[in-house]
């Protein structure tokens, strides 16, 4: 989730300039204005809250506030982590009424307390295809919805920058060794990086507080992406193997691009 004061600049950049699919169109409510953009292997949720009082003064928007993990079985995952020594909040369903007045669960969240802080929220989220809040008519599981969005992404060729997907999340933490131990306990990852999925890693760095510092994406052609960003005044730092978006174009956040691994081979 990317916390913002106004989602429109980033939504326009991703949807209009980069030509990426908007998987959840902009929606406003009493508590927030939000939208989802499909980025290949996940969604970027853009969120402008009516109040940011839940965030510490030093971590106000714009802020990459955290991310959701998709458990195969929420109850079993929470029980497993609790037994392993990682504290989780009790699962909390978000319910609404159906046309006949009965309650249905849209999704259920459980915050992973030992991996979260006021400035970074890591949580399980299990979606129910029978929910009533979704902007699409089909009753889709998360996997079915993502397959639909990925098909659209493929039709668009990854948009104007040839986006493949999110490949790395860089997060600072005040206690590096403790954080690494807990994340490896969660992911059962023993490699150099902490593997969140087969194509996405978490990189931990030492810092004063827990904050997601940057997102790194893979593109089909780094040179083509570089040329596009340069031509549109969006190119920030640039090196042989990595480029970044001009920070002023993304509200001061840090987003980087690298050559897709398959294409680089």
Domains of the chain: 2-264 (3.10.180.10)
Give the Cα separation of 139 and 219 in Å (integer).
31
Predicted pLDDT of residue 265: 40
pLDDT per residue rounded down to tens, the chain (265 residues): 999 999 999 999 999 999 999 999 999 999 999 999 999 999 999 999 999 999 999 999 999 999 999 999 999 999 999 999 999 999 999 999 988 899 999 999 999 999 999 999 999 999 999 999 999 888 999 999 999 999 999 999 999 999 999 999 999 999 999 999 999 999 998 878 899 999 999 999 999 999 999 999 999 999 999 999 999 999 999 999 999 999 999 999 999 999 998 754 4
Predicted pLDDT of residue 193: 84
DSSP string, the chain: -EE-S-SHHHHHIIIIIS---EEEEEEE-SSEEEEEEE-SSSEEEEEEES--TTS-GGGPSSEE-EEEE--SSHHHHHHHHHHHT--BPPPEEEEEE-TTS-EEEEEEEEEBGGG-BTTBEEEEEEE-TT-S--SSSS---HHHHHHHHHHHHHHTTTGGGTEEEEEEEEEEES-HHHHHHHHHHHH---SSSEEEETTEEEEEEE-SS-EEEEEEEEES-HHHHHHHHHHTT-EEEE-SSEEEE-GGGGTT--EEEEE-HHHH-
Predicted pLDDT of residue 263: 53
Q: Are 219 and 184 in contact (CB under 8 A)?
A: no
Predicted pLDDT of residue 190: 85
- Beta-strand pair 211-219/255-259: parallel
Q: What pTM did the predictor assign?
A: 0.94
């Amino acid at each position: 989730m990317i916390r913002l004061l106004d989602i429109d600049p980033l939504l326009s950049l991703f949807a209009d300039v980069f030509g990426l699919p908007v998987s959840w169109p902009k929606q406003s409510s009493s508590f927030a204005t939000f939208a989802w953009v499909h980025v290949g292997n996940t969604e970027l949720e853009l969120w402008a809250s009516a109040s940011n009082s839940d965030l510490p003064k030093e971590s106000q928007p714009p802020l990459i506030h955290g991310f959701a993990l998709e458990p195969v079985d929420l109850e079993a995952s929470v029980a497993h982590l609790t037994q392993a020594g990682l504290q989780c909040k009790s699962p909390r369903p978000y319910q609404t009424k159906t046309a006949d007045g009965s309650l249905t669960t849209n999704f259920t969240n459980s915050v992973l307390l030992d991996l979260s802080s006021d400035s970074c929220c890591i949580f399980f989220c299990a979606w129910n295809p029978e929910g009533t809040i979704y902007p699409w008519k089909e009753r889709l599981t998360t996997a079915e919805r993502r397959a639909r969005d990925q098909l659209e992404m493929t039709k668009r060729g990854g948009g104007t920058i040839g986006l493949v997907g999110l490949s790395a999340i860089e997060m600072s933490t005040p206690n590096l060794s403790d954080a690494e131990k807990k994340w490896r306990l969660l992911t059962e990852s023993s490699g150099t990086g902490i593997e969140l999925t087969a194509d996405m890693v978490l990189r931990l760095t030492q810092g004063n507080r827990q904050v997601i510092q940057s997102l790194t994406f893979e593109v089909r052609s780094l040179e083509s992406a570089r040329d596009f960003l340069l031509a549109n005044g969006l190119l920030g730092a640039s090196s042989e193997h990595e480029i970044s978006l001009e920070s002023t174009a993304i509200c001061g956040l840090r987003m980087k691009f690298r050559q897709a691994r398959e294409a680089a081979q």
